């Protein structure tokens, strides 16, 4: 029987290399060509004041899920739609700034991360143009990701946002949203410390073998990492895979709801990273 309490997984390992890799990531600029010209031609009336937050402390990344950038911008600026985001990034890399950073844009909807349910107040929302799963989901072009990376780095520096708080809409609204999806290059961005990426050690895999036998412990650790509590384990695991283990969506044999030893090992690695940088 598996007797270790969930939180005892954290901290039983020697200091990991992950801090080092993120520190190196900061020095290694993988996206040096960012063009910081940002258009303010389109402005959205859909915002209000942040509640309990003077400044944002998270970045939430989305895809637009519409046919064109023009359609998406029109909707995000339509007062009747009552949705918005602070930024939209076209596939060409062109950036539009629709809502001032100090205001509360309406992009997260019903959501939760680390017990906070008003993620609109806590975050900056960035919409990345992509037709999405219903209209022809496709890879995100390099120019678009380069522009996104530069924008994220600027916002993270300006508002002191931790890499652990760069999240996808699917992370904070796990039963409702699947964007930006499994094709989003989270791993590449994490090389520049934009978001976290798991780097499990041999010990993580060994601990993962035990953890996978205890679904309650796995569930508790996923909730502790940030995912909303009181939702089925399968859906939470699927959201985790969508961000941190995308092979679960690209290999026909893999079932995205079902955790395996690598799921557990990746989670343990991420928990340790988030403890080390906080
Ligand atoms: Zn979204």
Q: 269 alpha carbon to ligand 1 midpoint, in Å?
A: 26
What percent of the chain has a predicted confidence (pLDDT) above 90? 83
How buried is residue 233: exposed, middle or buried, by Cβ count under 10 Å (0-12/13-18/19+)? Answer: middle
Q: Across the chain, what does the average pLDDT equal? A: 89
- Both 47 and 183 in a single domain? yes
Number of domains in the chain: 2
Q: What is the pLDDT of residues 233-251, one digit of tens each?
A: 999 999 999 999 999 998 8
- Both 115 and 232 in a single domain? no
- Both 46 and 85 in a single domain? yes
Q: Of 155, 173, 190, which residue sits at a domain end?
A: 190
- Both 128 and 212 in a single domain? no
Q: 62 alpha carbon to ligand 1 midpoint, in Å?
A: 4
The pTM of the full predicted model, rounded to 2 decimals, is 0.88
Known catalytic residues are 127
pLDDT number for residue 13: 36
Under the banding of pLDDT at 50, 70 and 90, the label for residue 30 is: low
| CATH at 261 | 1.10.101
On whether residue 2 sits in a domain, the answer given is no
pLDDT for residue 17 is more than 90? no
Domain membership of residue 129 as a residue range: 38-190
pLDDT for residue 80 is more than 50? yes
Which residue blocks in 124-214 are alpha helix, DSSP H? 132-135, 142-159, 169-172, 186-190, 202-211
pLDDT number for residue 253: 81
On whether residue 57 sits in a domain, the answer given is yes
- Both 269 and 217 in a single domain? yes
- Both 117 and 61 in a single domain? yes
Cα 173 to Cα 7: distance, rounded to the nearest angstrom: 24
- Both 67 and 49 in a single domain? yes
- Both 68 and 165 in a single domain? yes
- Both 111 and 162 in a single domain? yes
C-beta separation of 105 from 46 below 8 A = yes
Q: 247 alpha carbon to ligand 1 midpoint, in Å?
A: 21
On whether residue 4 sits in a domain, the answer given is no
On whether residue 166 sits in a domain, the answer given is yes
Using DSSP's 3-state secondary structure scheme, residue 18 falls into: helix
Q: 108 alpha carbon to ligand 1 midpoint, in Å?
A: 7
| CATH at 175 | 3.40.80.10
Kindly give, in sequence order, each residue whose CB lies less than 8 Å from that of residue 65, ignoring residues fewer than 6 positions away.
130, 131, 132, 133, 134, 135, 179
């Amino acid at each position: 029987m598996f007797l270790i309490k969930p939180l005892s997984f954290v901290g039983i390992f020697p200091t990991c290399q992950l801090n080092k890799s993120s520190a190196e990531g900061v020095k290694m600029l993988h996206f040096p060509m960012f063009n910081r010209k940002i258009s303010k031609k389109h402005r959205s009336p859909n915002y209000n004041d942040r509640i309990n937050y003077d400044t944002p402390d998270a970045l939430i990344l989305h895809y637009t899920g519409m046919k064109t950038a023009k359609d998406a911008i029109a909707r995000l600026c339509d007062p009747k739609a009552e949705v918005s985001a602070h930024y939209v990034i076209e596939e060409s890399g062109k950036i539009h700034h629709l809502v001032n950073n100090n205001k509360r844009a309406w992009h997260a909807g019903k959501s939760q991360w680390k017990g906070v349910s008003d993620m609109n107040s806590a975050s900056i929302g960035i919409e990345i143009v992509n037709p999405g799963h219903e209209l022809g989901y496709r890879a995100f072009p390099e120019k678009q990701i380069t522009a996104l990376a530069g924008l994220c780095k600027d916002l993270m520096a300006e508002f002191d946002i931790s890499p652990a708080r760069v999240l996808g809409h699917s992370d904070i609204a796990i039963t409702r949203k699947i964007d930006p999806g499994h094709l989003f290059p989270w791993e590449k961005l994490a090389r520049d410390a934009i978001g976290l990426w798991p780097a499990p050690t041999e010990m993580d895999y060994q601990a993962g073998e035990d953890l996978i036998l205890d679904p309650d412990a796995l569930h508790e650790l996923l909730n502790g990492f940030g995912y909303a509590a009181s939702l089925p384990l399968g859906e939470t695991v699927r959201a985790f895979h969508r961000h941190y283990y995308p092979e679960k969506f690209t290999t026909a044999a893999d079932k995205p709801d079902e955790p395996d030893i690598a799921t557990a090992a990746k989670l343990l690695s991420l928990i340790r990273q988030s403890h080390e940088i906080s």
